[in-house]
Amino acid sequence: MTPADFAATLDATNLKLDASDGEICALCDEAAHARFASVCVYPTSVSMCADILYNTPARVCTVIGFPHGRSSLEAKREEILRAKHNGADEVDIVMNYAALRSGAKGLVTEELVQLCQEARDAQLLTKIIVETCFLNEAQKLAALAACETAGADFIKTSTGFGSAGANVDDVKLFATHRTGPIKIKASGSIRTLSTALALLDAGAERLGVSAAAALLAELKGERIEKSSDDSY
């Protein structure tokens, strides 16, 4: 994989609870220079990122119903509309995975159908976070089916705030059982280049990482210091 190809898979992410504007600006500068797929930030940072990344290859992604997924349908819809208004290109929407675990697959699917339609109408790319660490295999497959029914562009493994992040087995499970064009985003605890490449080899098309620049430098045979907070 070439450095350019690898960079194009990375959603450079800063969802730290104490992230400063300066750190978000630096992330945008890195993304524009390296041509990362996107920066992924909290909704309040979208406008700033959109201004910095205007007319660059990097897109602006934000999170919806994050990290719990238990916001109301109306609240998630409003977050999507606000994200579009502020300049976002992509939205990572947290599924109500608690409802899925309780057996309410129909309710979860209907919510995703409505939210994905809202996002499509706003010309936003959609990624649905299902939080695999809290789901058994049957629930993971139910989550995949719900995302496909809704027409989501991606199914995403994790928020980075659960008990575990992405793993190769979950990516392979989704890659093996998807029935249409839905893509896979792996995220959470992707701290090394070997992990990142293994997830891509398993079938992921995007990676959500907090150390995008360090991983790209490692691929190039360079070294830069990673952030001490790379939990995402």
Q: Map out the domains of the chain with their CATH numbers.
A: 3-219 (3.20.20.70)
Give the Cβ contact number of residue 25 at 10 Å.
15
Tokens 């562009």: give the residue: 153
Distance, in Å, from the CA atom of 67 to the CA atom of 85, rounded to the nearest integer, reads 22
Structure-token pair, residue 2: 């070439």
- Tell me whether residue 105 is one of the annotated catalytic residues: no
Mean pLDDT score, 99-122: 98
Of 76, 127, 140, 156, which one is the catalytic site residue?
156
185 has catalytic annotation: yes
If phi over 0 gives left and psi between -120 and 50 gives alpha, with beta otherwise, what is residue 72? beta
**What pLDDT, on the 0 to 100 scale, is given for residue 5?**
98
The reported pLDDT for the residue numbered 17 is 96
Is a pLDDT exceeding 80 seen at residue 161? yes
Residue 226 pLDDT: 56
Q: What is the pLDDT of residue 208?
A: 98
Instruction: Give 4's pLDDT tier (boundaries 50, 70, 90).
Output: very high
pLDDT score at 223: 72
Query: How confident is the model over 53-70, as a mean pLDDT?
Result: 98
110-113: long-range contacts (C-beta < 8 A, 24 or more apart)? 111/73, 111/76, 112/146, 112/147, 112/149, 112/150, 112/152, 113/149, 113/150, 113/151
Give the pLDDT score at 228.
46
Catalytic residue among 76, 84, 89, 92: 92
pLDDT at 163 over 70: yes
What is the sign of the dihedral through the CA atoms of 204, 181, 175 and 158?
positive
For the chain, percent of residues with pLDDT exceeding 70: 96
Q: What is the mean pLDDT of residues 189-206?
A: 97
Q: Give me the percent of the chain exceeding a pLDDT of 90.
A: 95
Task: Please say if 220 is a catalytic residue.
Answer: no
